[in-house]
Amino acid sequence: MRLSTIARLLGISLPGGATDAEIDALRSPEQAGERDMVFLAGPKFSAAVEASRAGFVIVKHGQRCGGKICLEVDDPYVAYARVAQLFEDRSPVFGNGIAPTAFIDPSAAIAATASVGPGSVIGARVTIGENCRVGARCVIEKGCTMGADCRIDSGAVIRHGTAIGNRVVIQSGAIVGSDGFGNAREKDVFIRIPAFGNVVVGDDAEIGANTTIDRGNFASTIIGKGVKLDNLIHVAHNVTIDEHSAMAAQTGISGSTRFGKRVIVGGQAGFVGHIDIGDDAFIGAKAGVSKSIGPGAKITGYPARDLMTMRRIEAAEQQLPQLIKDIKALKKQVDALRHDLSSQRQ
């Protein structure tokens, strides 16, 4: 990869005195050689980066690093993310084209530049766009549509009628479009409620391994543009997650909950159904969210409350053992004073 290509991607010029060198790889400081690039995300990593053999480093504006060629940017971590994509191997894991052992329904429309791995099943009327990569033993059921440049990892299941945008990543074991947990109860018997909706996944969304997304009952379950879902997340029927929100592993979302734009959710958070989470909200790890919250709110805890309130509660809890000792000591003093007063009256 040419240094000029990386600089152009980052919107900067080549550093003064630097030639348009060839960069072999983006590596950690411990692994890097003279033709490799590293990044300096913060001061605590300065020593490791300076000691590295790397010839090139991405740094914050104004930083220097031990005589290395420095690419100065506003945010080195963001720049690292962009540069890393240049070095990513995007070739089909099982080779180009359609594997001989894949089953493709005759009515499916698969772009000539797409690839389908061994043992995968592509159902009737499925559309797969240019440069999509479908791994081994994937199942894409009837009526699904997929835009360009998607990556469907081995073992993923995309159930009937799912609509997927461009550049979507769905990792192994994910199930998109499963039936929701809908049942009516008649006396002691549960009666299953069929789901007639689908799932719609926006451009540039990513769905982690073993994450499950239920189809809507009548309308769609919607995963918005740029949404990032970690592994082992459950999204119930008719949930809407608006664009550029992100959720960490083991989050559980009940039906018809609506998330705004740019919402951040920590791991193991849980949401009851039929509530609204406002734009730019932050929900801490293990939070139990039982009611709607407004834009920009920051909550955590079980039950979830204002973030700073919970921090003060947690700080106070740390002092409880000493507070109990102090209260016992005060009680002894009060009892002694009462005894003295009683003796004086007599």
For tokens 């010839």, the residue is 55
* Residue 20 exposure: Cα atoms within 13 Å on the Cβ side: 8
Which among 115, 106, 185, 182 has a CA at the least distance from the CA of 146?
A: 115
How are strands ordered across the β-sheet holding 240-241?
109-110, 127-128, 145-146, 163-164, 198-201, 220-223, 240-241, 258-259, 276-277
For tokens 């300065």, the residue is 46
Q: Are strands 121-122 and 139-140 parallel, antiparallel or unpaired?
A: parallel
Helix (H) or strand (E) holding 164: strand 163-164
Hey, is 19 helix, strand or coil? Answer: coil
* Residue 56 CB partners (closer than 8 Å, separation 6+): 3, 21, 23, 36, 37, 38, 68, 69, 70, 71
Instruction: Determine which one of 61, 160, 234, 237 is catalytic.
Output: 237
Q: Is 244 a catalytic residue?
A: no
What is the C-alpha separation between 59 and 65, in angstroms, rounded? Answer: 8
Q: 237, 182 in Cβ contact below 8 A?
A: yes
Hey, is 282 helix, strand or coil? Answer: strand
303 prior amide bond cis, ω within 30: yes
Neighbour tally for 77: CB within 10 Å? 13
* Residue 123 CB partners (closer than 8 Å, separation 6+): 105, 108, 139, 140, 141, 142, 143, 144, 160
- Which residues belong to the active site? 237
